[in-house]
Structure 1
């Protein structure tokens, strides 16, 4: 039986988020890094639309969110592994400053 395609892809090992390559529903999901032959298993907490992000690790509020091996944003709330990552819990790094 042929192996199923991944549910999500992370650009680099060490990224804290990956991109859904199909609409995901809550439950087990399998993905991969583009720069590593291994697989990643995550339990998706809620539905994640195609092209949107899923957390690969726990990310505390105020911590950097990493994709492509670079900081793309800052967690505005605590994010658990498997959570949908979007504007409700992520602020762009472009306008974020540590100075209030």
Structure 2
């Protein structure tokens, strides 16, 4: 099956993967235009990918609304997640490991 990502709103600068995808070209559906994005790394089902370069400090837009802020420069085609963005809705999310979801700001003994 060919991987596809979905852009919800024309102003979105991220799209959501509808299946796991390896690096390479992936079609982008929705958001008023058909295009492609070249993934720079493997991205899992349900995760976001940058549709444009997003400089550190700039807003991440999904659903046509700001959902977060880039913590570092994010290249077009890169995975957008806890390692490179901060949520506008959850101040603690930037302390979570992007793969396991475990808190990195606390030690459990």
| TM-score, scaled relative to structure 1 | 0.84
Aligned length: 91
The answer to whether the Cα contact below 8 Å between 1:6 and 1:32 also exists between their aligned partners in 2 is no
Q: For structure 2, list consecutive stretches of 5 or more residues without a partner in the other structure.
A: 92-109
Greater CA radius of gyration, 1 or 2?
A: 2
Q: For structure 1, list consecutive stretches of 5 or more residues without a partner in the other structure.
A: none
Please state how far the C-alpha of 1:6 moved relative to its aligned partner.
6.2
1:8 is aligned, of 5, 19, 22, to 5
State how 1:1-100 maps to structure 2 within 5 Å.
Answer: 7-33=4-30, 35-36=31-32, 38-95=33-90
The answer to whether the Cα contact below 8 Å between 2:49 and 2:78 also exists between their aligned partners in 1 is yes
Moved over 2 A (4+): none
The answer to whether the Cα contact below 8 Å between 1:74 and 1:92 also exists between their aligned partners in 2 is yes
